[in-house]
Every structure is written in C-alpha cells, then in structure tokens.
Amino acid sequence: MAHFLFGGGTLLTIDTRIKLLLFVLINFMVFGLKDFILGSVCFLFICVLSCLMGQKKLVWKYIIFYVIVAAIQQLCSYLPQAIETILSVFTLFIRVMIPVVLFASTFIATTKVSELIAAMYSLKIPRSITITFAMVLRFFPTFSEEIHNIYDAMKLRGIKVSWKNIFTRPLLLLEAMAVPIVMRSASIAEELSASAVTRGIDNPAQRTSFIRLKIHKRDILVLLVFIVAFIVLFYFKYQIYGRI
C-alpha cells in the first residue's frame, strides 16, 4: 500500500514487497558504486526516500556519520603508507555500508512484522527464510530495550560505561555487561520461540492473513525511480572507468 499523508510533513508509505525489492536493489547499487561521488549520489537518493518515509531525525544522524567517515577517508592520504592502506579499506567499507544500514533501519522502523510475513509469503519466499526474518525483526527491538535496562542497572550500581571504568575496572565492567546480555538474549530467544509456536508458525498448512497487500501507482513510481537511478549511475561508472 502506498499513499501520501499530509500533516506536519509528507509521509510516504510503501508496500512491503516494494521495500524488499528496493532493499535488494540498494545493495547492488552501493556495493557496485564504491566511487566516492557516485556512492554519495546513491546515498543521497536513499536519504531522500527515508525522509519521505518519516525518518528525518535518523537521516540526519547518518548524514553526519557519513560526512565524518568521508572526511577521514580523504585525510588518509596524508598518513604513512601502511596506516593509510588499513584505514582506507576500513573507512571504505563503513562508507559503503552506511546507505544499506540507513535503509535497513528505515525498513524496520516503518514495517510491522505481520506485514513483512504477509509480503514474503506472497512473494513465495521459502518458509525458513520468512521465519528467520520475522524472528530477527522481533528480536532486535526487544534486545535494544534490554540493553537500555542493563545500562540503567549498571549506573545504579555505580558501574556505568566511562573511560575511567574502562581503564580502572575493565573486568568488572565486562562482567556487568556480558553476563546480563547473554542471559537475557537466551531468555528473549526462548520467549520468541514459544510465542511463534503458540501462533502456529510451525504449522505446515497454507497460511492465511488479515493483512491485505496492494501495490499502487506510487509504489511502482518509487521503484522505477530507483531502477532508472541504478541504470544511470552504472552508465556513468562505465563512462568513467570503462567497466561495470
């Protein structure tokens, strides 16, 4: 489903199946366009799309991070050869991954698990992959809340994460973080597994869904814009470097 909601800002809602196709297309784009200028143009397209989907604050954070990484990458040429090689490869990998992580974050923030499952079943994606994606989407938001709870508990005990504690009490800090994280991860996985079984996720019969998916003209338009951008950017890459 795709429609524009006009209010405090323009919010674009895209059909989940189109978002899945865009995610695949964006991965091909960012890993094929490692050049700084072409990669930055690709990143700009993803920023605009994420803003239209209501993730402006998230986009600004990634833009700032992207600028910092790009600046470090440009400054690498002034470093000794050995350090330059290592740091250039590391910053290049981060810069290439930023657009992918940005759209993945936007995808998670704007997609319900039920919509994702319905979309993947409609695309005839294997059941094992569908269940894995559903579990991942349910796990990380819950795990993020647990991390915040653990951090709050550490502050109450006077073991907050700080440079002083890192250098003076590293083992205590590691124990206070690692043990609760491992225990809660196992507990969350068990709870999600029980919840999935209760909902009949292991039932081999054909599934039905209350979610009604429908692709509209705006969905097709967004997909076509990215396909055209994909073709144009790779054409410029061919003109510049003589290869795809």
Per-residue pLDDT of the chain (244 residues; tens, 9 = 90+): 334 333 344 478 888 889 989 998 988 888 888 788 888 888 999 999 999 888 899 999 999 999 998 888 888 777 777 777 888 888 888 888 999 999 988 988 888 877 888 888 788 877 777 777 777 777 777 777 888 888 888 888 777 777 777 778 778 777 788 888 888 777 877 777 777 677 666 666 666 667 777 888 888 998 999 999 888 888 888 887 766 5
Q: Kindly list the domain boundaries of the chain, sorted by start residue.
A: 1-111+214-244, 113-211
DSSP states along 170-195: HHHHHHHHHHHHHHHHHHHHHHHHHH
Beta strand spans in the chain (E): 3-6, 10-13
Tell me how crowded residue 93 is: count the other CB atoms within 10 A of its CB: 12
Handedness of CA 173, 175, 176, 177 (dihedral sign): positive
